[in-house]
Structure 1
Amino acid sequence: MNLDLDLDLDVAFHVSIALADASPVALAPLLGELRGAGYRRAVLPPMNPQEADAAGLRRVFDEADIVPIAMTGQQPGADVSSEDSTERRAGADALRAAVEFAAAIGADQLNGVPYGLFGPPGGPTPFAAVERAAREVGVVADEAAARGITMTFEVLNRYETSALNTAAQALDFVVLSGSENLRIHLDTFHMAVEEADMSAAIRAALPKLGYLELGQSGRGHLGSGAVDIPAVVQTAIDDGYTGRWGVEAFSRGLVGQPAADILAIWRDPFDDGLELASEAIRVIRRGWAESTAGRRAQRLARSGAA
């Protein structure tokens, strides 16, 4: 099997895999390495739009020829799922500020958990709260689209939210939002907990799937864990997925505080983020090479060489 072909996939790398400091100075060398490894995009952690150096971030991304993906979320007192109209308005304002920040750094995608609070849930999320969140998020997603930014929402496992845990729930959320522009973000780490059939869930979400993130069961190298990442990649491509891919992993010593505690990263499954980045591309390449499109590309390459 020839794995030296150019990988014609749009892959993003979460910068928190490699470093805790997402300042322009810290990011610049990492972004250059990622571009050389074959990544087209890099995902930033959630940042305060009022405090982050948007101009500096845009400069280092432009210099590395890497496109940023921004992230957003909600906070107590600023939550689009709240019964309180003032809290909902504050939550929507936070999402709009994130859209402005994404535009300022040159991003065309905004990821995150825009539909409520992140963290161990105290019980089931009432359907009314999901409805409220969907309406607010849908409005902002349409506003973002008018700025050339695709807004996605990540489906999490049961230990991080009780609002949206499955692809089926995500599809219902898109309908509730009333937005034609809102897109789903699925992550194999979370799907390994919640989905009976990961590939079937991806297949069902395809019409609204905007971002497919690859993460292992233990949050470490993509090639080691309970999730067969190459098989996920192969099947998704064969089923017709043509969107963006993400790579996510976390090691306590690299992600830093407070993120490590927030994400429940108690161990160090790896100690070199760039090594993980290279390994992840190889793992994704294996899945692509086994897909119909990958095998066709290899046949064409062999016939051309002949």
Structure 2
Amino acid sequence: MSLSNSSSAMTAEQFSPIGFNLLVWTAALSEAMNPIADRLKEIGYDGVESFIDTQDVSVYQQFGDHLKQLGLQSTCVTVVGPDANPASESASVREQGLMYLKGAIDRAHAMGASVICGPFHSAFATFSRREPQPDEYKRSAEVLHAAGEYAKQANIVLTPEALNRFECYLCNTMQQLSHLVQLADHPNVRAMFDTHHANMEEKRFPDAIRTIAPVLAHVHISENDRGTPGDGHIPWDDTFRTLAEQKYTGWMTIEAFTRNDIDFANSINVWREYNEPWDIAENGLKFIKAMQAKYANS
């Protein structure tokens, strides 16, 4: 799999691999996820995405071994809190941020993952009550560069994520995220595009995707309500057409949420159910494959 854009026309063999984020069930990895991975493989997924926290490395190793037996690839997602904020004025807090990211890289490596995505450029849902400052981008970029150097040893690409204004203030748009990634200036620090957040923050999806395309290495396919992709009002034709035009061949991973994991749901303000997990997985996969085929020759 190539995380970089291809210069040749996209063919069936070059379609982006399709992943499914396990957060629709739980944020905690355990052997209980093995049967879910089995079924995702049977349905036709290329990989799964798992949340990384501070569980023992052996948990990720065991799950990764199961994925390898199935022939599934893996990616990961993580966040940082205010005590490990890479954009903090405090050097000790930034150091905690770097240590946390190194721990996440160790766990992802144990699982055999190729990508760690998420809004780890700054603390989730933590606000300064002012617009983002140049020094905050600089501090965050320095931490990301150091984390990228560590990730390089594990052959992992870090893809920080822009979030909507209600969950983040440092990076809401692809323009801001592109600026941060350029400041980080490391080949293992790239970017991701999430359709849910872009739906709130970007004027036009094609412009946003073209802005981030030079450093784009991961995409979250996520409906406006976090339910089944294709059931809502995300501009999907614009999304898939532009990704195809840009010859994007990295992951397209479905990220959807439910209240199955109450603590996680409460932490991200998910207060109701959208669709059943297997409805999201089965119909979402069909939708992505149909859209990839539709724009295969763009």
TM over 0.5: yes
Matched, 1:266 2:267: no
1:219 partner amino acid: R
Rounded Cα–Cα distance in structure 2 between residues aligned with 1:247 and 1:261: 20
Q: Structure 1 runs of 4+ off > 4 angstroms?
A: none
Residue 193 (structure 1) aligned with residue 185 (structure 2): no
- Alignment pair present for 1:95 and 2:101: yes
Q: Post-superposition shift, 1:36? A: 1.8
Q: 2:57 matched to 1:56?
A: no
Task: Report the alpha carbon displacement of residue 117 of structure 1 after superposing the two structures with TM.
Answer: 0.7
Q: Shift of residue 9 of structure 1?
A: 2.7
SS in structure 2 opposite 1:193? helix
Cα 1:28–1:91 change in 2 (3 A) is same
> Is 1:8 equivalent to 2:19 in the alignment?
no
The 10-residue stretch of structure 1 (74-83 or 208-217) with the greater mean CA deviation from structure 2: 74-83
1:121–1:159 contact (8 Å) kept in structure 2:
no
Residue matched to 1:297: none
Residue of structure 2 in register with 1:168 after alignment: 175
TM value normalised by structure 1: 0.87
Matched to 2:35, the amino acid is: P
Distance change in 2, residues 1:221/1:192 (3 Å): same
Q: How many equivalent residue pairs?
A: 286
Instruction: Tell me the SS of whatever aligns to 1:293.
Output: coil
CA–CA distance in structure 2, aligned partners of residues 146 and 201 of structure 1: 31
Q: Percent identity?
A: 23
Aligned residue type for 1:131:
K
Higher relative contact order (CA 8 A, sep 6+): 2
Q: Which residue of 1 aligns with 2:29?
A: 23
Match of 1:280 among 262, 281, 284: 284
Superposition TM-score, scaled by structure 2 size: 0.90
Q: CA RMSD in A?
A: 1.9
Is the CA contact 1:130–1:173 (under 8 Å) kept in the aligned structure 2?
yes
Name the structure 1 match of 2:142.
Answer: 135
In our comparison, the structure showing a higher alpha carbon Rg is: 1
Assess if the C-alpha contact under 8 Å between 1:119 and 1:262 holds in 2. no
In structure 1, the residue corresponding to 2:82 is in which secondary structure? coil
Tell me the residue number matched to 1:298: none
